[in-house]
A = this chain, B = another copy of it.
Amino acid sequence: MASGWFYVTCLVLGSLGSMCVLFTVYWMQHWRGGFAWDGSSSMFNWHPVLMVTGMVVLYGAASLVYRLPQSWVGPKLPWKSLHAGLHLLAFIFTVVGLVAVFRFHSHGKIAHLYSLHSWLGITTVILFASQWALGFAIFLLPWASLWVRSLLKPIHVFFGASILALSIASVISGINEKLIFSLNGGAKPYSSLPSEAVFANSTGLLVLAFGLLVLYILLASSWKRPEPGILTDRQPLLHNGD
């Protein structure tokens, strides 16, 4: 029964996640001139799409790997690899998304990293990179002792959830900022709520709903992997002496 509800929730989550990506693509395509890789504002348009896809949707999916009941039995290593691999994919999307905005700024002689949105965003990406590297070194490579792992596991879980929350705050402030920059000064300013503004605001709320649902699934105790005893927790990628 708990497992049935879990899959229904995953279905809702999958739909929400797809809508987040599709809505962002549609916003950029329909109102902001579509996509290119030439330093123009069409290159900037990759930024929201790749950040929402990488730092929110893929990151969210990757963080939920251990909530799949299939991951609770048998060897843990394939699931650890899937967890790390999906997060790596999320990180690659993120880096390409950053390249898009930095190249757009350089091309248009716009200053880098001045807004609070950018300060928060870059902090989030740095935390994500550190979290991934530390997670790989401690939980996948074979050298860390069980003591170190059990010490770091709650911190890893806490920062995992926090980075998602920071991503959502970055996306919200980014959508808000983009709408102010794009609409104000034009015929239909943000405050007149043209259809683009309603659509992009709604996209922001969708991202929020997706993020909250991921955090709920992460924290709901009945969906957590039952503690399987201490031994199965120490399956490193490489055994000592391999």
Contact = CB atoms under 8 A, between A and B. Distances in A.
Interface of A: 110-111, 114-117, 119-120, 123, 154, 158, 162, 165-166, 168-169, 172-173, 175-177, 179-181, 190-193, 197, 200-201, 204-205, 208, 212, 215-216, 219-221
Nearest to A173: B173
Given A120-B208, A154-B221, A204-B120, A115 B176 contact: yes
A contacts with B: majority SS: helix
Copy count, this protein chain: 2
16 contacts: A110-B191, A111-B191, A114-B193, A115-B180, A116-B175, A117-B173, A120-B205, A120-B208, A123-B205, A154-B221, A158-B220, A162-B212, A169-B169, A169-B208, A173-B176, A180-B181
A208 B117 CA distance: 12
Contacts of A192: 111, 114
